[in-house]
Amino acid sequence: MNVPRAEVLLRPAPLNLPLLLPSILPLPSSSVPAPLLPSHWLGRPAGPPRDLKGPLSAPPWEPQLVPALRPAGEAARRRRRRWRRRCVPGPLDLSFLTARSIHLSIHPWGSAMATFSRQEFFQQLLQGCLLPTAQQGLDQIWLLLAICLACRLLWRLGLPSYLKHASTVAGGFFSLYHFFQLHMVWVVLLSLLCYLVLFLCRHSSHRGVFLSVTILIYLLMGEMHMVDTVTWHKMRGAQMIVAMKAVSLSFDLDRGEVGAVPSPVEFMGYLYFVGTIVFGPWIPFHSYLQAVQGRPLSRRWLQKVARSLALALLCLVLSTCVGPYLFPYFIPLDGDRLLRNKKRKARWLRAYESAVSFHFSNYFVGFLSEATATLAGAGFTEEKDHLEWDLTVSKPLNVELPRSMVEVVTSWNLPMSYWLNNYVFKNALRLGTFSAVLVTYAASALLHGFSFHLAAVLLSLAFITYVEHVLRKRLARILSACVLSKRCPPDCSHQHRLGLGVRALNLLFGALAIFHLAYLGSLFDVDVDDTTEEQGYGMAYTVHKWSELSWASHWVTFGCWIFYRLIG
């Protein structure tokens, strides 16, 4: 295709970092897999570039454009779509290009964008995307990091405990206001409601159930549009953290793991702990109490913070500058020629691009939450002569190069995996295993918001992980081989452990897991219109995206289930 030339110069656009929170349903440590949610707490920038000093307005799940900042016209809409790459603007944002001669062409996947040759692309990548993305990411989070460090130093001063709790409440309130402004009132209302129920039921042995029902009603009312949809979506992430902490504390009280109902300032300090209130992760009540004790500063602590922050920024730039352009720049598959007569393959490559970009934006949130929680003094275990700062939220290698979908589920968000297993799945087991799986699925769906595409992904993953689990369990029994979803312990009784056939079968299931991830990740494509973003991804969008891929993952899962029944 002949394409006109334009005089343009690549200029990085300011980053408007969305509030991202981990949100995937992990697998309970039971023999039956639970459903998974590929968390979205991931989003896109909240609007056209603006002053970085201003507060963020992007909601953590489905960020909206700021209406007052929206340029008019279809041309502006196209510019915004190009601008809205995951987390930050892409390196080829034509709305900010002037005065350098490059070729304009059609992106291999069909959307108009500036396409460099591979050599030109890599020359522009460093200055046009990588460095600006990292710098602007730090510009957006430095204040939260400073508050976490200030609280950590304040707790070292030997203040009375109530002042320590009050200081973390103040830090949490300031952080919420910085990111959410007055919309934080819905989080505050939820926290007050939780303590009221906990106080009224202080003599009951079923505080966890009562509080869970209260939170369920509150969240359902919000989802049923008691509150403006856009406003409610902004607060989902912080509400999820508050709800998880309150529920875990109530069940710990019922089990006797926490002796008495905490005082109001202690309870609010736990809920609004500055290291976790914005980006997570969930931490148990005893970890919060250890954090406010003010443990000594150490080189290991500083190294952990620096490592997590560096990995967070690395994942941010990979999600923004590599994921969306994986083909053909980084993996040269000659995308134009590929698309000429093979649209189905191109759709799968695009789905994989979307999945990779989505995954790394999740890892960005996971590592950033590690950094903020550790910087504030949480996330350690006590060794004999030192503290081991070992908080781990995600394991990217287990997701990108998985052994199984079960491993993907458990490695996506480890703290939430523990929470769902310990406080939802185990408590629901009295209803039966299948009912417990359904309750776990419903709890995850409610925490992450009742969006059709999220519910569809959850339900699909419930079947995918379950079928994979039972099939590999049966194959392991029939073949006496180490082909279970999880790695066998060293003393397992299987006859075949490391043979070529065992390795080949495990690699086959690993490739199948990558196939499922690409299929499910296709729903998180960035090329959607503004109305879809504001109202949530509906049924028509979900059906359309999966229809483009011929419902392949569902058919493969059904085929695996048939095979499982035949070999039984």
* pLDDT of 533: 53
Three-class HEC string of 80-128: HHHHCCCCCCCCCCHHHCCCCEEEEEECCCCCEEECCCHHHHHHHHHHH
Q: Which residue has the tokens 């799986």?
A: 437
Quick: pLDDT tens for 12-48.
333 333 333 333 333 333 333 333 333 333 333 333 3
Joined together, the tokens standing for residue 432 give 């039966």
Residue positions annotated with a catalytic role? 448
What DSSP string describes 130-143?
IHHHHHHHHHHHHH
Asked if 475 and 501 count as a contact pair (C-beta separation under 8 A), the reply is no
Gap between the Cα atoms of 443 and 309, Å rounded: 30
pLDDT tier at 327, thresholds 50, 70, 90: confident
Name residue 112's beta-bridge partners.
Answer: 106
Quick: pLDDT tens for 52-105.
333 333 333 333 222 222 333 344 344 334 433 333 333 323 222 222 222 323
pLDDT tier at 158, thresholds 50, 70, 90: confident
Quick: pLDDT tens for 410-419.
899 999 989 9
Q: How far is CA 300 from CA 242, 517, 554, in A?
A: 29, 35, 46
Quick: pLDDT tens for 502-518.
999 999 999 999 999 99
* pTM, entire model: 0.79
515: nearest Cα among 362, 405, 358: 405
Gap between the Cα atoms of 74 and 54, Å rounded: 27
Gap between the Cα atoms of 273 and 378, Å rounded: 10
Is 18 or 394 the better-scoring residue by pLDDT?
394
pLDDT of 334 over the 70 cut: no
544: nearest Cα among 459, 456, 462, 449: 456
Q: Average model confidence (pLDDT) for the chain? A: 77
* H helix or E strand, kind and range, residue 478: helix 452-479
Q: How far is CA 397 from CA 401, 407, 408, 510, 536, in A?
A: 6, 10, 9, 12, 30
* pLDDT of 456: 87
Q: Where are the alpha helices (DSSP H) in 376-451?
A: 396-400, 405-412, 414-420, 426-428, 433-448
